[in-house]
Amino acid sequence: MKNYSGKDGRRPGFKDGFGVLKKFLFYWFPILIYCLLIFIQSSYPSPEQVPDWPYIDKILHLAAYAILGALFLRALKTLPIKNNLKLVMILSILLSSLYGISDEIHQYFVPYRNADLLDALADMLGSVCGVYVYQLLSSK
């Protein structure tokens, strides 16, 4: 039987494992939940009643992916690459934009939905805005 030298008698690294779980739940799990919500919403036919405001659809896409971009930035800042802010920001924009593009492809296969290039562009623009606004606010 091994004798563990920790104060609590547990194996070395136990606290590290718990810290990894906490980090995952706090930083990465929200991304998974948010992406799942986007996927579920995109799996339904288009809403019949949409407010008749100009460009409301594009504004909603921009806002949704701004949030996703900010979530990715927040999570990627916990990785060892966190000291390379430019890389973290580019990856955040890239990952959230790619999810937006994949969501548009997904919508192509959903009855009564369609893939829209302008929606994908709004997703990408939202990703950029979300990353930059979150970085601006978190650096203050």
Position 25 scores a pLDDT of 93
7 is a domain residue: no
Global confidence as pTM: 0.84
Q: For residue range 4-38, list pLDDT tens digits in order.
A: 555 555 555 555 667 888 999 999 999 999 999 99
- Is residue 3 a part of any domain in this protein? no
* Overall number of domains in the chain: 1
Based on the number of CB atoms within 10 Å of its own CB, is 32 exposed (0-12), middle (13-18) or buried (19 or more)?
exposed
- Taking alpha carbons only, the member of 93, 48, 42 closest to residue 66 is 93
**Residue 22 belongs to a domain:** yes
- Over residues 40-96, the pLDDT tens digits come to 999 998 766 667 788 889 999 999 999 999 999 999 999 999 999 999 999 999 999
Q: Residue 107 and residue 49: Cα distance in Å, rounded?
A: 18
Is 2 a member of any domain?
no
pLDDT score of 71: 98
The answer as to whether 95 is a domain residue is yes
Q: Do the domain assignments include residue 107?
A: yes
C-alpha pair distances (Å), 30 with each of 24, 36, 49, 62, 85: 9, 10, 29, 19, 21
Q: Nearest Cα to 123, choosing from 65, 69, 56?
A: 65
The range of the structural domain enclosing residue 89 comes to 14-46+53-138
